[in-house]
Chain A
């Protein structure tokens, strides 16, 4: 069974440009999470989808970030326009729904390393 995949693995863009990151969760996983690790800091939660609905987007830094999960399968995270402080590694994770609170292991993708110059 394929794990969580993310594309691209690495993106280098200039300040002001737009970048779209993609995450394909494990098939059948209704929960999908985005996290980010900025250099030297801890991994921080960005948002959580249940199927196609945003369950919690409290971690989204500002309105330059837009996440979608049309159809409840793969998700995209768009940064527009990108700023220098957006550089970091963006992780996606998924987990099945209905395992019960307190029992959920999250399966992480390899991450997308974003560099904004």
Chain B
């Protein structure tokens, strides 16, 4: 089965609220990355967290990584309508050459 599973599959919140998405994976990794895809557009890289890191921030984004539980979370604080998109986690497995394994994604809707 494909590793990198996000939950929830869909999330709907009001503007200003925080959004939390989770991702689980099955094997050891070099890093875990989060991507965003706006409808009909390409994937945009948001943040990369390495296997020896536990938390990382970028603007309104906060990513955590728990390698013992093989899970990660993406928190978007003070959400905006423009954050409406699909969010994917992707893992770069140890021993691989950069090939990414994606989850099915979380569809986030932020209502104005």
Contacts and interface: CB of A to CB of B under 8 A. Distances in A.
A101 B30 contact: yes
Interface string B44-72: 11001011000000000000000000000
Nearest to A10: B40
A50 B48 CA distance: 21
A55 to B, nearest CB: 5
Contacts of B41: 110
A87 to B, nearest CB: 16
A36 B90 CA distance: 14
A66 interface: no
A106 B103 contact: no
Contacts of A55: 97
Contacts of A31: 98
B45 A108 contact: yes
Nearest to A111: B42
A105 B33 contact: yes
A42 B43 contact: no
A22 B35 CA distance: 22
A107 interface: yes
Contacts of B35: 108
Contacts of A102: 30-31, 50-51, 92
Interface string A41-54: 11111001010000
Instruction: Name which of B48, B98, B101 has the most chain A CB atoms within 10 A of its CB.
Output: B98
A107 B100 CA distance: 12
Nearest to B102: A43
Given A43-B88, A91-B42, A110-B41, A105 B48 contact: yes
A109 interface: yes
A44 B102 CA distance: 7
A48 B101 CA distance: 13
- Nearest 4 A/B pairs, CB to CB: A102-B30, A110-B42, A108-B43, A43-B102
Interface of A: 4, 31, 33, 35, 41-45, 48, 50, 55-56, 59, 91, 93, 95, 101-111
Interface of B: 2, 4, 30-31, 33, 35, 41-45, 48, 50-51, 88, 90, 92, 96-105
